[in-house]
Structure 1
Amino acid sequence: MSDRDGKEYVDLLEILQPLGASSARSDRASWRLRFGNVESEFTAEKTRARIRGGDFDLAAKFKLENGRGLVPLASLSTLLPQFLGAPVTFRESSRRLFIGNVSVHFTAQVNRANPPNLVMEFSSPVNPMIATEPGKLRMVFTHEPLVPPGSQTLTFDSKIIPSASYLESNGAAEIAVNSNAPLFASFSNDGRTITIASAPQKPAQAVSATPVQQPASAAAVPQPQAGVPPQANLNPSVPYFAVVDAGHGGEERGAALSDQLAEKDVTLTFARRLKEELEAHGLSTQLLRDGDVSLTVDKRATLTNAAHPAVYICLHASSEGNGIRLYMAMLPAGAESRGPFLDWDTAQSASRATSQIVEASLAAEFEKRQVAVRSLVAPLRPLNNITSAAIAIEVAPPVGGIAELNSPRYQQLISESIASGVLAVRDRLGTAR
């Protein structure tokens, strides 16, 4: 996007190329563009163009610069249908372009549950980025063609969730839910329903029914697997406050962060540094793997549950975006737990409140250190199979680039932030059981 004569212009060819076969050629003041079978001709410093053999008027003069054809931004909503043969909606203020009848609508209503929940129904599946902050939960939609309701400010008859607001900017739509209590979001109906609920303020006590001498893993595990690889370190006889799980390993390389950098190596480096940092603060810590070995998600959960830690921390790495993404478990609909026997797919249920405590504390520590952080809920195993507080941390590079994932300074910053966040809520997590 560029400014010409006080108006915003865009390169028409750059917009059309991702949508189909396109080519352009210029001859002095004339610029000819072909998109599929559609022929067009534009003339520099003229507002009238020829498309499909007919005249078309632009909102401002056409600009021809170094072979690039620039058209006024304000003309896109009427210009593009001439080429695409489909309706186009362009939301100029937020730079959002919808092609076809694809708009996603939503409704929002607070139900009569105790405490009340905000239930949002969407006309198509959505997958927003979710972040929490004091008094607010934000959902940012970067890919979905979400459109506003009748009013951009919604009010509800609820003291806990009194209102929500809708806004658009920089190519994204955002719904901000206001509350006087911490909130978390859960998904259902294949992503068409998002339920916003207040987070419990103290750990649930349901797990206390399990006798101390009875390992939680015995009640919440699938069939045991054959021996643990020698580098999968966990001694059930030693109480650990934290279990740190370096994602991937062995044949499972994880994401290819660069030509030479595999996710499994980055997570292991981070895990070792985090263990040192936690133990420096007096928090006994065990690595689930301390070498390049493969562990299934069920095995990771089984070993963790057998150790009864106060907190489980799973580490991942990504080359996309920057900063930190914190994940809590998205619990599926599962079978009922019976006494000490917990449903494997929803074993995290009783510890969800403590997981929320850890997530909020970690987010606060990252924000103190000016590290970008987002909090999300996702179906990321083995979080839902863990019977203690459980959090997954995905580390992306800072603005400096992917190589910074291997930087000792960046690794130390992230490790210190995590350790401080866990230490701040140590008394609320209890001790290893």
Structure 2
Amino acid sequence: MQRNFCGLRLSVGSLMVVLVACSSSYAARAVRSSESGDSLTVVIDAGHGGHDRGGIPGQRVAEKNMTLDVAQRLRNVLSGAGYHVVMTRDSDVFVPLATRVAIANSYRNAIFVCIHFNATNRMGASGIETYFYSRDSLPLASAVHYYVTGGAPSANRGVRRRGYYVLRKTAIPAVLVECGFLTNPTEAAYAQTASYRQKLAEEIATGVRGRSSLGSASYIDQTKVAKSERHSSKRSHKKSARKKKSSSKPAGSEARSGSLNREA
């Protein structure tokens, strides 16, 4: 009887060990699943395409080619990390903005990452900027921008809130990354190297993975700051001009003005 009891106790103990092992294995799989992001869909949108080259008229480097290459590299990085990835375009075709938005909105647990490069008539313009619209998109925008600017040798033009169609119409967190100016000779040269485009893709992917770990409290709309500084500069300039004009008046005119004021 004693032997049977001991055997029963051993059996119960063995069962507990098996249950604990199974529980640990399940927990480990759950953690790996959470870390790999295989429950999240990332919709990657390569800007422009087909007859839409992107950029400005006469631009030598076609933006549509650069955005597609970075988007495909980003897809490979995220797929390798376990994410479910959807491309709005995977070749040189034109996709209307409404279609891009419809693709994004067809997924629930998802985020939308739009890849672009900048352009302007001023060749000296440079830097990377990231756009968002909804407040839910700010953590993603902040994280992506943090890592991309940290890994690129370009100026940080800030995170900005704008009502671009693909950002305004998407029902999921959405960001648009401007990966540098193709009209800037230096940044265009970077963009045309495969290693740099791979680096951009990897940093964007790091931002996707770290979207919940970085705070967004430090967000400042750089455009509003610049506009405020311009207005402040204009006000200062006007005050300075008035002061200069006043100081250039003859002494007699100041005296006459003073006497008139006293008489009034």
Bucket of the pairwise TM-score, normalised by the shorter protein: 0.5 to 0.7
Residues 1:386 and 2:190 are matched in the alignment: no
- The answer to whether the 8 A contact 1:245-1:313 is kept is yes
- Percent identity between matched residues is 26
- The answer to whether the 8 A contact 1:313-1:390 is kept is yes
What is the aligned length? 169
What is residue 209 of structure 2 aligned with on the other side?
A: 423
Aligned residue identity for 1:324: I
Max Rg structure: 2
Residue of 377, 396, 413 corresponding to 2:180: 396
CA shift, 1:426, in A, is 5.8
CA shift, 1:309, in A, is 4.6
CA shift, 1:379, in A, is 2.4
What is residue 324 of structure 1 aligned with on the other side?
A: 128
What is residue 272 of structure 1 aligned with on the other side?
A: 72
Aligned residue identity for 1:362: V
- Could you say what secondary structure the match of 1:307 adopts? coil
- Could you say what secondary structure the match of 1:366 adopts? helix
- Tell me, in whole angstroms, the C-alpha distance in 1 between the residues paired with 2:115 and 2:146: 18
What is residue 85 of structure 2 aligned with on the other side?
A: 285
Between stretches 267-276 and 419-428, larger displacement belongs to: 419-428
- Tell me, in whole angstroms, the C-alpha distance in 1 between the residues paired with 2:108 and 2:48: 22
What is residue 150 of structure 2 aligned with on the other side?
A: 368
Aligned residue identity for 2:204: I
- The answer to whether the 8 A contact 2:79-2:85 is kept is yes
Residue of 93, 96, 99 corresponding to 1:296: 96
Aligned residue identity for 1:327: Y
CA shift, 1:363, in A, is 2.5
- Tell me, in whole angstroms, the C-alpha distance in 2 between the residues paired with 1:259 and 1:378: 25
CA shift, 1:246, in A, is 0.6
CA shift, 1:319, in A, is 3.7
- Tell me, in whole angstroms, the C-alpha distance in 1 between the residues paired with 2:63 and 2:149: 24
Give the alignment's TM-score, normalised by structure 1.
Answer: 0.36
Correspondence 1:41-80 to 2 at 5 A: none
- Tell me, in whole angstroms, the C-alpha distance in 2 between the residues paired with 1:400 and 1:257: 19
Residues 1:357 and 2:139 are matched in the alignment: yes
Aligned residue identity for 1:323: G
What is residue 70 of structure 1 aligned with on the other side?
A: none
Correspondence 1:208-357 to 2 at 5 A: 241-256=41-56, 260-320=60-120, 321-329=125-133, 352-357=134-139
CA shift, 1:403, in A, is 2.5
- Deviations along 1:251-307, one digit per CA (max 9) or x if unpaired, are 222114865421111111111111112222222211110112222111111111013
> Does the C-alpha gap of structure 1 residues 414 and 389 become closer, same or farther in structure 2, counting only changes over 3 Å?
same
- Tell me, in whole angstroms, the C-alpha distance in 1 between the residues paired with 2:81 and 2:39: 16
- Deviations along 1:379-401, one digit per CA (max 9) or x if unpaired, are 21111110110000111158734
What is residue 113 of structure 1 aligned with on the other side?
A: none
Residue of 411, 415, 419 corresponding to 2:197: 411
Runs of 4+ in 1 over 4 A off after TM superposition: 256-260
For structure 1, which runs of at least 5 residues remain unmatched after alignment? Answer: 1-237, 330-351, 429-433
Q: Which one scores higher on RCO, CA 8 angstroms, separation ≥ 6?
A: 2
- Could you say what secondary structure the match of 2:66 adopts? helix
- Could you say what secondary structure the match of 2:165 adopts? coil
Give the alignment's TM-score, normalised by structure 2.
Answer: 0.57
Aligned residue identity for 2:150: K
- Deviations along 1:16-48, one digit per CA (max 9) or x if unpaired, are xxxxxxxxxxxxxxxxxxxxxxxxxxxxxxxxx
For structure 2, which runs of at least 5 residues remain unmatched after alignment? Answer: 1-37, 215-264
Aligned residue identity for 1:361: A
- Deviations along 1:93-121, one digit per CA (max 9) or x if unpaired, are xxxxxxxxxxxxxxxxxxxxxxxxxxxxx
Aligned residue identity for 2:132: M
